[in-house]
Amino acid sequence: MRKARTVFGGRPVGEPVLTYALIALTVLAYLVELARPAVVGQFDNLGAALVDADGQQYVDDGGSYPGYQPIGVAHGEWYRLITSGFLHLQQDAGVFGITHILFNLYWIWLLGRILEDRLGRVRFLAVYLLATLGGSVLEMLVAPGQRALGASGAVFGLAACYFVITRRLHHHPLDRNRLIMMFVLWMVFSASFTSWEGHLGGLLAGGATAAGFAYAPKKRQALVQAAVTVALAALLVGLVVLKALELSA
C-alpha cells in the first residue's frame, strides 16, 4: 500500500497495523475455539437465558427458578456484546463452516486497509467497535434469547463507513454503490439463516459513526468526532440497560 494519510484529522498511520491486529485477534479467537469449543457458549452474544446443570438452555421469562442459572448480557455478562464479534462458526457447522470466518476476514482486510488509511487508527477502531456493538445490541433488542456470533456486524459497519467516507471524499477505490448494494442484498437474502439483526445493527452504527466523522465541522473537528463516538456508545449502552430492565421485570 502507499503511505497512509488521514483526511479527517490525526497523523498518518503508515501500514494498516490495526487492521492486521484485528485479523490476528479474530484468527487467535478461532484457534482457541478449536482447542476449547466451550468458550463459544461463554462469550457469544446472548441477551438472556437460563441453563441447567447439564448446560441445557431455556427461555428466561424473568421468573425465579431454583437450580437454573441465569446467563447473558441482561445478567451482567456485558462482555458478550464485544467478544461475540471475534468468534465464528467452526468448520463442522453446517453449510457455512470455515467460510464464515474466511469471508469476514477477507472484508476486514479489504475495507480495513482503506478505512484505516482514510480515518486514522483511533477513528477506524471506533467505527469497528461501535459497529460490533451496534450489531450485538440490535440482536439483543429483537431476539434476546437467540445466540449470535461473528464479525459480520463489524464488516457491515465497515461497508457503511466506506460508502459514507468515499462519498464525502469523492474518491472510491471500490465502487461504493455496488458495494453497499451487495451488502444490503446479502442481508435480505440471508435473513432466514443468519443474524439479520447483527448485520443491520452493524450497518447503522458504522454508517452513523462515519457520518459524524466525515461531516464534523473543521473548526472543532476532533471535539465533534469524539462527541459523536461517546453519544452513540451511550445510546447503545442505554438501549441495553432498558432491555435488561424489561427482561428482569
Distance CA 232, CA 173 (A): 28
Cell numbers that stand for 71 in this block: 446467563
* Pairs from 111-114 (Cβ < 8 Å, separation ≥ 24): 111/155, 111/158, 111/159, 111/161, 111/162, 112/16, 112/18, 112/19, 112/22, 112/23, 112/158, 113/1, 113/16, 113/19, 114/162, 114/173, 114/174
So which residues are the catalytic ones?
A: 152, 199
Of 2, 23, 22, the C-alpha closest to 13 is: 2
- Locate 148 and state its grid cell: 449470535
How open is the CA angle 41-44-193, to the nearest 5 degrees?
A: 100
Residues 97-126 as b or e (16 or more Cβ within 10 Å = b): eeebbebbbebbebbbbbbbbbbbbbbbbb
Place of cell 441482561: 74
Please give the Cα distance from 129 to 82 (Å, whole number). 7
